[in-house]
Amino acid sequence: MNQSDEHTNRQWRLRSRPVGMVRTSDFECVEEPLPALGDNQVLVRNLYLAFEPAMRGWLNDVKSYVPPVGIGEVMRASSVGQVIESRHPSYAVGDLVSGMLGWQEYALADGEPGPMGRLATVPDGIAPEVMLSALGGTGLTAYFGMTDIGEVREGDTVLVSGAAGATGSVAAQIARLRGAERVVGIAGGPEKCQWLTEQAGLDAAIDYKSENLARRLRDELPHGASLFFDNVGGPILDEALLNMAQGGRVVLCGGISGYNEEELPPGPRNYMQIVIRRLTVRGFILIDHFKDAGRALGDLSGWLSEGQLAVATDVQEGFENTPQTLLRLFEGKNLGKQLLKLADPPIPR
Ligand code: NAP
């Protein structure tokens, strides 16, 4: 693939709807002339793309909380970029901005709110990696899921699946910061588990890929979890249901284990545990909580500036690697937020 010049824009567009596991060949790279700027618009050079498992769902032609990405459309994605031209009073050339700018090197934006938020200016002193992780969609998801939905409180015993991922790692730390008595994470691989106990301050981490999950859960949660924050669903949710305390809360944040399944497996086998243990199970979607983003960002920024919140990011490089970088999420290769760096800011700051 050729490098683009300042007159062309490279884009990754959806070529075909994936069946089962998403493949790089489901996308195609096209080049087109740089778009012309209209009134009240800005032209943004994308610097970092962010990747989320939900992107797999956006490729299915089904009704969901946002419309599917259409065949031939630029793949939807959040990013941080730099304004290189502006005809909008709220954005100046050189500003760093964050929004749903898609898998492309340059994007036009108008600052109007879309279904997934509006173009935000990155505050001075905030690195793009942090803006897209702890202070981005996954940090906010962790915050609202743990505090508003899970209502984490002092004395809780908290279990988090997908704990070394972008959402799980922040959610688990929020539980600790809000006074949970014990926080246990589940993650794939020893490196992730080591990060959870040594950097993120969890009390224990279980490597579900190489350890006996059922036994470890029983050992680590002898009285059961009062709160389970689930990012993965499937067999891990089933095991967790067997290790809940009576009256416990289950926050359903996501179910990545099923996102690439052609045929969905039957639902949780242990669902009767919800009855027997009198559990409360609540799902949520971040976009319903944007109105409270100020409160969340205030708390998250405070913890970050006090050095109380460890942030992990996995930064790949090169626009040509965009589809491969999405696949890393489903292969469990990322520790923390999966990002792809496209460029340094073209305008010195
Ligand atoms: P992430 O956790 O940073 O990355 C995905 C991780 O999922 C991988 O690193 C891998 O970690 C794990 N995984 C992949 N396949 C798996 C499988 N078959 N079984 C168990 N674990 C598997 O991604 P994220 O962006 O933070 O998203 C985490 C979850 O939150 C996803 O389910 C996502 O859809 C959900 N989410 C929900 C909302 C909402 O509004 N409700 C918003 C954002 C995200 P391991 O190595 O540990 O397996």
Same domain, 262 and 335: no
Report whether residue 168 contacts ligand 1, using a CB cutoff of 6 Å.
yes
pLDDT, mean of residues 126-130: 97
Average pLDDT of span 51-60: 97
Kindly tell me if the per-residue pLDDT of 116 is higher than 90: no
Instruction: Return the closest-CA partner of residue 236 out of 222, 261, 216.
Output: 216
Residue 278 shares a structural domain with residue 247 = yes
Question: Are 198 and 102 found together in one domain?
Answer: no
Question: What residues contact 280, with CB distance under 8 A and at least 6 apart?
Answer: 247, 248, 249, 250
* pLDDT exceeds cutoff 60 at 4: no
| Residue ranges in the chain assigned as alpha helix (H) | 54-58, 128-131, 137-143, 166-177, 190-198, 213-220, 234-241, 272-276, 293-305, 322-331
219-270, pLDDT tens digit by residue?
999 999 999 999 999 999 999 999 999 999 999 999 999 999 999 888 899 9
Residue 120 and residue 43 share a domain: yes
Where does the pLDDT of residue 115 fall: very low under 50, low under 70, confident under 90, or very high at 90 and above?
low
- Does the beta carbon of 156 lie inside 6 Å of ligand 1? no
Which ligand 1 atom lies nearest to the CA of residue 284? 41
pTM of the model: 0.96
Mean of pLDDT over the chain: 95
CATH of the domain at 108: 3.90.180.10
What is the pLDDT confidence band of residue 35, given thresholds at 50, 70 and 90? confident
Rounded to the nearest whole angstrom, what is the distance from the C-alpha of residue 31 to the centroid of ligand 1?
A: 31
Domain that holds residue 201: 137-287
Question: What is the identity of the amino acid at 89?
Answer: P
Q: How far is the CA of 162 from the centre of ligand 1 (A)?
A: 6
Q: What percent of the chain has pLDDT over 70?
A: 97
Residue pair 226/151 in contact by the 8 Å Cβ criterion: no
Ligand 1 atom 21, closest CA: 232
In a domain, 154, yes or no: yes
Question: In this structure, is residue 153 part of a structural domain?
Answer: yes
Residues 117, 142, single domain; the answer is no
Q: Are residues 146 and 40 in the same domain?
A: no
Ligand 1 atom 15 nearest Cα: 330
Instruction: Verify whether ligand 1 is closer than 6 Å to residue 173 (CB atom).
Output: no
Residue 307 lies in a domain: no
- What CATH number should be reported for the domain holding residue 242? 3.40.50.720
298 falls within a domain = no
